[in-house]
Amino acid sequence: IITTGANLYHDTHFGIGLSLHQGSTAISDVVLRGEEVVRIYDIFFDYSVLLDTDEFFRRVIEGEEFQRPMSTAEFHSLCGKYVLERGRKLGLEDKSFLAAAYEYGVPLYTSSPGDSSIGMNVAAKALQGNKLAFDPSLDVNETASIVLAAKRGAIHGKGDKGKKHGGKSAVFILGGGSPKNFMLQTEPQIQEVLGIDERGHDYFLQITDARPDTGGLSGATPGEAVSWGKVDPDRLPDAVVCYVDSTIALPVMTSYALARHEPRELKRLYERRGELMDLLNEEYRKSKRR
C-alpha cells in the first residue's frame, strides 16, 4: 500500500481511541477555530485530538529501534505495532489500517513522508537529537522489487528467480496524487533506470473524481501511463477508470470481493523485503544500464 502521511495520521486517531464526529459544512470556520474544533470537510474533532496524536508519535519514535535511517515501510510497521498494542489495551478492534498492516505483514509506504503531521513530529524530534530519518531510496527500490517479483512469479513462490515474465502485476488506485505516481513509477524504475526487461503493469483499476484534461496526475489516464512504460500496452483494453467517490466505490467492491471469493493465503510481503530486494539486485547486476 502507498498512501499519504495524512491518511495514516488521521487513521491513528481511531486506533488510539480518539473521537471524530460528522457535522455540517455550512458552519463558520472562524467559529470552529475559536472553539478549537478542526474540520476536514464534514468531519470534526477537537484540537486536542491533534495534540494527543502528536504526543503518541513523539513518545513512540523515542524508542531505540527508531534511532536510525529506515524505509517508510519499516517506520510504519514499527508504529503499527504500537497502535495495535494501544488499541488492545483500550479494548478496540479493527479500528486502524496502520495496525492491520502491521498485523498482516503488509508494507505501507508514503511517497512524501515530510508532508504530514507524522513527518512534522519526526522533524521536531530531530531538533532534540533524535536519529530517525526516512530513506527515500529504500522506498523506491523496495516498491520496484515487489513489482518485479510479481512479474517474475516470485510473489506466490512459483518459478525461479531467473524466470522471465512469469507473473502479473496490478495497480488499484483510490484517488491519485503523489501515491498514484509512486506506485506507477515502479515500472519506469525497473525499465528506464535499472535497465531490466519489462513491459509495464498488467492491470490498471482507478477510482477517481479528477478530470484528465487539466493535466493533473490524479486524472491521468491509463493510456497516458502506457506512453511512460507504466502500463503494458497489450493490456490497455483491460484497464478501467471509474469516475466516482472512492468512499462509495470501495465498500461496494470490498463487499463483492468478500462475498464471491474465499480468503487467500497471506503474502506477508513486509517480511520478504530482503528476499525481493535480492531479486532486484540480481537482475540489475545483469543489466547493461549499470
Residues marked active site are found at 230
Cβ–Cβ under 8 Å, residues 166 and 209: no
Q: What Å distances lie between residue 7 and 26, 96, 116, 186, CA to CA?
A: 24, 11, 9, 22
Task: State whether the Cα torsion 250-270-264-185 is positive or negative.
Answer: positive
Q: Which of 157, 163, 155, 148 is nearest to 193 (CA)?
A: 148
Q: What Å distances lie between residue 84 and 16, 116, 186, CA to CA?
A: 8, 21, 30
Which residue's entry shows cell 526516512? Answer: 134
Residues 6+ away with beta carbon under 8 Å from 123: 114
Cell digits of residue 90? 483500550
Burial class (CB within 10 angstroms; exposed 0-12, middle 13-18, buried 19+) of 78: middle
